[in-house]
Structures are given as structure tokens and as C-alpha cells.
Structure 1
Amino acid sequence: MQKICFLFNHDQTHQIAHSLPIALQMAKSGVADVTLAVTSILVEAEIRRLSGAGLAGMKIVRLQTRSTVSQMLVRAFDSLVPARKLLVYRDNLDFFRQFDALVVSEKSSLILKSRYGLEDIKFIHTRHGAGDRAIGFNAQSAQFDLILVSGEKIRDRLVCDAGVPPEKIRVTGYAKFDIIVPEHKPLFAPSDRRTILYNPHPSPHLSSWFKFGANVLEQFYQSDRYNLIFAPHVMLFARRWTVTIDRLSIASAKKPDPRYNDAPHMLMDLGSPACTDMTYTNAADLYLGDVSSQVYEFLNRPRPCLFLDAHDTLWQGNPNYRHWTTGPVKTDASDVIGAVDAAFASQASYSDAQRAVLEASFSVTATPASVRAATAIIEYLDEAIG
């Protein structure tokens, strides 16, 4: 039986549901010896919350930085860059060596192969999200032995943009949709207001937050037209400074005015589990955002979208902004309420575009995505390792 480690090495919880359903399916079917490795109490708690009884029979191991030097570096730099995330690899090489395969939703784990020489382990990438950002299709992707993708759009861009050989890719659907979202109490008191989700991204050179965000929140605060859920990407306020590597940029995200917390028609959530388990994308009537891949989870049930372009982007025909074809794009923060009204009114004109991006982004069959993914991993390992 193959020994497989599902690694959850992140400060926040937003990547968990992209691989956890696959691990749960493997454990349930008994096709592999599955270990879940985590690097924070927060992540472990979210895994337990989402898994319920599905964790029975699986091992959870919490990895830590072990050396004095690593711990010093974490204290010095982790508020700025993901120091702990990188150092935990170096300090746990013996742990990783015991496995036939490492399943991850991000790319930092490739350091185990490129720097620390763990060539005998098969590196399997589940990705996280079905978004369009260029960083998701960079050359690093080709270093994985197997990549599981949600749909043809992802497969085609990995081949064309990242140079990934087609035989390394399996289209298995979107495993996150197999998660059963825990029930929440109603988000707002009963009213005839429709609900808007504002979901800005953390990357300073792409996000609407740094330039438009405060203005957007103030307009909803002053308006009596809509309920607003403010649930940004959980990394927007996770560190004192936001640093991006796809285009080097750094900025400090100022948190919203506290008075919004007391507005009955505004829900301010800067990082609870509901930000990542589709609670808000399921509950909203309109998606307001910029480049977050959560728009695709929202569009799984097509509804109006409105996008905020704070960077004068030449986006038409650019595959990195394909999701902007699914709703109007606004290039300033004036009269956002009026733009929301117009987006609701124009929804019919975007229905074909929304249908097209869904079909390209999510492969749907009678077999759940997590089952398809688990099968693809086992078949690959049986052939590659025997």
C-alpha cells in the first residue's frame, strides 16, 4: 500500500478544501496509507471541523521548526514573509523521506526536490482554486510529477504557458465542491435587501482594496439598498506587510473602520473559516471583487458579478482576466451602489459568458471530483512506483 502525505503548510485555511476531500476519500476507500501533515493549530482545527468523522483511521502530524536558527529566523521575518513555511521543510526532511508521494495545493514544497534532493518522492499538485492569475501557470508547475486540474481551461494553460507535458495532467474536477459546508445561522436579519459579497485580493498590484476599498465600504455603510459581506482573501490582513513575488510589490493593508462592525446591514469578516468554506459565496446575490479565484466558486450557481479595476488594466482578451468577461468592470470607486444596480439589471447579457467559463473551469461528471482525483493518484503511483 502506497504511503501518501497530504501536506497543509500555510498560515491560513484557504487551501485546505482543495486537497482534503481527496485525502478523506482515499482513507475511506482504504486504497492508501494516508497521513495529514499540518504546520499550525489553526489549520489542524479547520481540518477537523471540515472532516468530522471522516478523519477516523488517519494520522495527523504537526510539523514544527526544530532548530534554534530556524526559530530565530521565524521570529525575525515571519511577519513579513512566510519564513516558517519554508524552514519547516529543512527541519523535517526525515519525516518527508518516508512517503511515496506528497500531495500539496501550493508550490513551496518543491524546495524539497530542488534544494534538498528528495527525488524519490512523487510530488502531486492539486492546485487551489480555478482562477486565472498568471502565477498559477508559471514554469514551477512543470516540476510536479502529477497535476490534478479542475477543468480544460487549467489543463490547456498549463501546457501552453507553463510547458507542462500533457501526460502529467489529469482533469478530475473541483474537489472543494465535495466539502459539506457546516450550517451557519442567518447572516442578516430578515429583510428585502439583497446581499453583496466584496472579496478583494491581497496582491497590491492587482487588488482593488488599497485604492478603492475604504470608499467602497463607506458607500455601503451610508446606503440602505443592500446588505454587504466584506470577506476579503484571508491573506489581505494576515501580515503587517503584503509582499507579492509574481510582480514584486509590497504594501500595508489598513484594516476597515471599526464602526462598520456595528452596522446591522454589514458583516465584516477578516479571516474566519466562513471566508474559505464557501459560506459567503453561496449566500450572496452579487459578487464584487477583482482577481480572486473565489469568483468561480460563486459562479458555480450563476449570479451577477461586478469587478473593480484599480490599475487601468488592459484586460480584454487577456486570459489572466477571463473572469472579467462575466460581469461589468468598473475603473473607479464612484457610485458603486449604482454600478451594483446596473450589474443586477444587465445579468442576462452575461449569462452566456458565465456558462462558458464554468464549462471550461469545472469538469463535472457523475463521479465526485474527490473520487476522480483519488483514483488518478493511485493509478499514477501504481504505474510509476508499482
Structure 2
Amino acid sequence: MMAGCRGGGRSRWPLSPAQRLLIGAALYALAMIVAQLSGSVLIWHGASPLDVSGDLVLLLGLAFALFQAFSKGGNPLVRDHWFMGCAGMLLIGGSEIEQADFWIVIPVWAIAAGLLFRCVLPYLTESLIERLMWAGAAAQITAHVAWIVKDGFLDGPYPGLQRVTESGELVALLVYGLSMVLARLSHLDDHAICHDRLQRWAKTAGTPGSGDPLVRPRICFSYIAQIHQILHSLPIAVAMAQRYPDLEVHIVGSRQNLQFARRLIRERVGPVALHFDQLYRPWSVWTRHRDGAVGSKKRVLRANRLYFSGFDAVVTTERTSLYLRQICPASLKLIRTKHGAGDRAVAFAPELALFDFLLLPGEKEARRLLELGYAKPGHFVSGIYAKLDWIARQNGERPRLFDNDRPTVLYSPHFEESLSSWPLIGRQVLDHFARSTTYNLIFAPHIRLFDAPTPAKYEAFREYRKYPHMHIDLGSDRCVDMTYTLAADIYLGDVSSQVVEFLTRPRPCLFLNPRKVAWQEDLHYRFWHLGPVLTEIDDLEAAIDGAVRSHRDFEQRQRDYLRDTLGLVEPGQSGARGAEAIVGYLGKVAAREG
């Protein structure tokens, strides 16, 4: 594996001779297609220009793939894939036997197309390559359907169908070849074998030439889960791009997540020098989760292995990304920022020790992780809860959701079945509020409870649509941007860390314990000391009234809890502090490894 990477500025023509030949062949073949279809070119020595062009493109495509396979010999991430490309081109060439029947050639082409897909698979984060490959497959299928019709059903010369077959195969070869060229021009493989960017950046920062894209440190903010995690680190990415122009900052995720991130930045910040990259979603994930649910995050990470390998650090809000440890170079630094500040056991999981650097909300988590040995001094910073940065700009303005003056209750059950109140008493809670003449209800469960919130899932709640004092949201943007925690007067929940965001302005809380958990001495239920706890909901109305009346008894506890949980967080400063902490850590890494 290469220890360094290419430096210096890019040349005016950043193409190898093989790439230029393939592009030239593509242009020539395109001209031949037009000429052949217009009837202005005759057959040459028994072979049409389409056949000649196809052979030329095939040979150049094979030469290009072979050249890449040997030139990438030191990069195991892509070397074998380029050899698959060679095999695919060889199969197509071998199938072009004079007088070969379609039932032999077509299966060979199908196998070859599969190998060519495998060739460019590591590069499919570049969505244009994926679209081109599917276009090539469509041209190939069209060509071979025409061949089957001509020879299998009509049994005649039919020159029109012959031209469709020849043109389709040529277009397929052109597109497959162009996909390989674009894969090479993406520089994903160059980035993946460049492991000394941090050291070179530390030496050249602030000097001419330090803007070389293969020298600038590359930081990725990854969003492979649901949208509720985005606000917890996006302000850090924005601050990093604004404050450190010598870094290359990327936002990566699904199309839905990128749309949400772009909208947040557009509405709350304005133009920022960020790169947005859509991850390739494998066919196996897409077919199982057509409703838009997240699906297997490990499969997505594995399919985009080359892309992630090209970064110096990946900032993530979830633990599944630790899988990158197994599939990416050891030089990749994994940085974790929290997407909640609750007390559940998952907040103090042993896997946190596997991250290189942690961004923590407050003293509570830092103290506990140090006690458990899951954090080390110098490898974490406290006082980071970036979601509050952009919310603070709203000046705590309370959204008005109901056309009445009733107090509003937010019911936000957790998604994990073994902990959540929803499977046991959720419907009873909704039925109670349907009858209530005192309170409004916002039912906004954890976004993962009904992931993805399809119309069919909403249909299960149609009986509550007739109640104007009930608002049901199974997973819109407002479930994650604190619209509901700001709008509500009373919190009703179980183990969700939403309560922390609700308590940024102390208000009455009521916790549901239908499982009769012995919680009083359990640190994972510490926040249940911030309001009454119910094991039965036979008289829920009276319990809510009691929570309101007794709020003064809990208000100081809530303030103390919030101080311990988020006390180091300065309003509007988490993004800048987080960016500074990450850059400072990477600077230390560069100095240590330089």
C-alpha cells in the first residue's frame, strides 16, 4: 500500500494516453452510429462501420481496464475490480465469433455486463456512473431483444433489426467504457491511497500550493441513519467549512438526508463551501426498503468503502460506522458526536472506546465514560450539543399548533420495544386524549418507531383525524427540529432523550412505566426523578393535573439535571467549538504521526 500521495497542481489535460484513446474511440463510434443510421455509409468488406467501431471500442476498453488493473496494483480496494473489468471485456470479445448463435452470445454478454458492473462498483458513489451503467444495460437488452426477434421468430435478414442489434451493442460498449473513464477521473482511488494528507497539510498550511485537493485534509460528516441525527453535527460541519477553508468538508448520506441538510443550511445559514455526496444504495437494500426506511447500514458502508477510505476523518452520530474500522485503512479517524443526551445504557456503550475522538454534551457523560474507561483524556471534548445552535436562533419562539388555549401535552414514546410504553399502553393514551376536554395532544414518537412513515402507517391512526385537539406526526422534519418540544407545555414519555431538549425550558414532566421497572436506583433512569412516574394510566387526566401542580417540587431538580447534562454548552457556540476541537485533534495526530 502506498504511504504517500501525488502532490502538485493538476495538469491542463488530466488524462492518460489510454483515456484519451478511449474518448477518441467513443467520439468516432458515435459518428459511425449517426452515419450508419442515416444510410450515408456502406458496408466495408462485409463488416459494417458499427461492427468495426464496436471492435475498436472493445479493444480500447480492454486496454484501459488492463492498464488500470496493473497501475492500481498497490491498491487492493480497486485492483481486483479492474481485473473484473478486463474479464468482462474479454468475454464480450470472445463472444464475437463469426456465425455464433444468439443463445450463446447473449448469456456471455450478460455475464460480462455483471463483471463490468463489479468493475465500477467501488465508484458508484459518483451517481452518474451508476446511471450510465444502467443506460448501458438498457442498450444491451434492447440490442439482444432485437436479435432474438430477428433470428428466433422472424428468421430473415431484416436489416433494420440488424442495425438495432449492432447499434445497441456499440452503445452499451461505449457507455461501459465511459463509465470506466469517469470512475478513473473521480479520483476516489487516489484519495483512498493518500495517507499523509494530514502531515503535508500541517507543513504547508497557509503557504501557496496548500490547496492541492490531494493534500488538503478531507473530513466527512456521514448521515446514514434517519434525519433526527443530522442536526446534531451539521452545525459543526458548517462551522468547519466557514472557519477552515484549507479543509475539504463533505456531507454524505441518502438523497432524503442530503435534501434535508441542504434545506437546513439554506434556511438557517446561507451559502457555505460544502461538498454534498449521495451514497450508493446497494440493490439488496433498495429492494428490501422501497418505503424509504434506512435498511442495513453496514451494507451501505461496505458498498461505499472506497469513498470512505478517501477521508482523513469521518464524523458520525451513530455507532454502526465503527464497521469502517474493518473495511477502511487504519489511518481513517472516526469521530463521534452524540445525537441525544439521555441516560440509557446505550449512551455509555463499550463501543464508544473504539472511536478516536468524542464530542460530548456535558460533564455527566464525560465523568461516566472516564469512570468506565471508555474515554481517555485528550480524546474527547465536552460542551457540544450542536442541535441547540440553530434552535437558539429562533429565540425559543413557541410554535402555535392548535386553534385553542388548552395546555398541550407532547407524547413521545421510544422506538425500542423492550423499553417503550407504546406497545403496552400507547393506544390507550391516544384514546384518553381523544376524549379529553382539557388538553391538546401532540403524538410525535421517536422517528424510528414508524420508520418510514408511509401513508399506510398513517392510515392506522385515521380514527383520530376528526379531533382538532390532536396532532399526529409519525416522522416529519418537525419531529426532529424541536418544533414539538418548544410547542408543548407538558412532557409525557418513557425513556427517550427528547426530555432533555424539552427541559431546555423547565416544564412539567410525567413518565410512563407500564413495565414496572425498578428505576429508583438505576442510573439509566436518572431523568425519571424529574417528574412523577406512572405505572397505571387508569386516571391519566388526574396524573397530568398532578404533574402540573407539583412542578415546583421538580423544577430545581430539572435545572440541576440540565446543568450537569448540558451545562458546558454555550448557546450558539457548539458548532464552532466542535469544529475547533476536531481540527485541533487532527493537528495533534499530524504532529504525532509526522
TM-score (structure 2 length as normaliser) = 0.59
Contact kept, 8 Å, 1:170 with 1:376, in 2: the verdict is: yes
Tell me, yes or no, if structure 1 residue 33 matches structure 2 residue 248.
yes
* CA deviations over 1:116-152 (Å, ceiling 9, x no partner): 1431111100011101110121111000000000101
The whole-number CA distance in structure 2 between the counterparts of 1:73 and 1:29 is: 37
Q: Which moved more, 1:153-162 or 1:313-322?
A: 153-162
Contact 1:150 1:173 in 2 (8 A): yes
Report the equivalent of 1:75: 287
CA–CA separation in structure 2 for the residues paired with 1:82 and 1:238:
8
Change (3 A) 1:159 1:185: closer
* Contact residue 214 and residue 256 of structure 1 kept, 8 A: no
Task: Tell me, yes or no, if the aligned pair for 2:293 and 2:451 is still in contact at 8 Å.
Answer: no
CA pair 162-221 structure 1, distance change in 2 beyond 3 A:
farther
Partner deviation per Cα, 1:228-253 (whole Å, 9 max, x = no partner): 1000001111169xxxxxxxxxxxx9
Partner residue in 2 for 1:259: 463
2:217 alignment counterpart: 2
8 Å CA contact 2:492–2:511 kept in 1: the answer is yes
The residue type paired with residue 131 of structure 1 is: G
Partner residue in 1 for 2:237: 23
User: What are the ranges of 5 or more consecutive residues in structure 2 without an aligned counterpart?
Assistant: 1-215
Counting only pairs closer than 5 Å after superposition, residues 164-203 of structure 1 correspond to structure 2 as 164-180=375-391, 186-189=400-403, 191-203=404-416
Contact (CA 8 Å) 1:4, 1:101: kept in 2 or not?
Answer: yes
Show structure 1 runs of 5+ residues with no match.
241-252
- The answer to whether the Cα contact below 8 Å between 1:138 and 1:161 also exists between their aligned partners in 2 is no
- The one-letter amino acid paired with 1:58 is L
Counterparts of residues 1-386 of structure 1 (less than 5 Å): 1-10=216-225, 12-31=226-245, 32-38=247-253, 40-52=254-266, 53-65=269-281, 70-72=282-284, 74-76=286-288, 83-113=295-325, 115-161=326-372, 163-180=374-391, 186-189=400-403, 191-238=404-451, 257-362=461-566, 363-365=568-570, 368-386=573-591
- The offset of 1:184, in angstroms, is 9.2
Structure with the larger strand share = 1
d(CA) in 2 for partners of 1:301 and 1:256?
33
Matched position secondary structure for 1:267: strand
Decide whether aligned partners of structure 1 residues 210 and 184 sit closer, same or farther in structure 2, where only a CA change above 3 A counts.
same
Structure-2 change in CA distance of 1:25 and 1:73 (3 Å) = closer
Return closer, same or farther for 1:84/1:54 CA change in 2, 3 Å cut-off.
farther
Q: Distance in 2 between matches of 1:108 and 1:3?
A: 21
Using the TM superposition, name which of 332-341 and 141-150 deviates more: 332-341
CA distance in 2, matches of 1:366, 1:341: 32
CA contact (8 A) 1:16 1:47 kept: yes
Q: Distance in 1 between matches of 2:534 and 2:362?
A: 28
Q: Is the 8 A contact 1:212 1:332 kept in 2?
A: no
Deviation at 1:158?
A: 1.7
**SS at structure 2 position matched to 1:167:** coil
2:240 corresponds to which letter in structure 1? M
**1:49 to 1:73, Cα distance in 2 relative to 1, 3 A:** closer
Query: What is the letter of the counterpart of residue 15 of structure 1?
Result: Q
> Which is worse superposed, 103-112 or 25-34?
25-34
**Closer/same/farther in 2, CA of residues 170 and 255 from structure 1, 3 Å limit:** farther
Q: Which has the larger radius of gyration?
A: 2
**Preserved contact between residue 6 and residue 19 of structure 1 (Cα < 8 Å):** yes
Equivalent residue number for residue 250 of structure 1: none
CA displacement, residues 16-37 of structure 1 (integer Å, 9 cap, x when unaligned): 0000010011112135210101
What is the distance in 2 between the residues matched to 1:127 and 1:164?
Answer: 14
Moved more, 174-183 or 147-156: 174-183
RMSD: 2.3
Report the residue type matching 2:578 in the other structure.
Answer: A
Q: 1:203 to 1:338 in 2, by over 3 A?
A: same
CA pair 130-185 structure 1, distance change in 2 beyond 3 A: closer
For residues 231 and 123 of structure 1, what CA distance do their matches in structure 2 show? Answer: 32
Deviation at 1:275, TM superposition (A): 0.3
TM-score (norm 1): 0.89
1:48–1:55 Cα contact (<8 Å) kept: no
Which structure is higher in RCO with an 8 Å CA cutoff and minimum separation 6? 1
Q: Alpha-carbon deviation of 1:71?
A: 1.7
Paired residue for 2:115? none
| 1:145 maps to amino acid | D
Q: Is the 8 A contact 1:140 1:162 kept in 2?
A: no
Report how many residues are paired. 366
Whole-Å Cα distance in 1 between the matches of residues 291 and 519 of structure 2?
Answer: 33
Q: CA deviation at 1:45?
A: 1.8
Whichever structure has more helix as a proportion of its residues is 2
- 3-state SS, counterpart of residue 321 of structure 1: helix
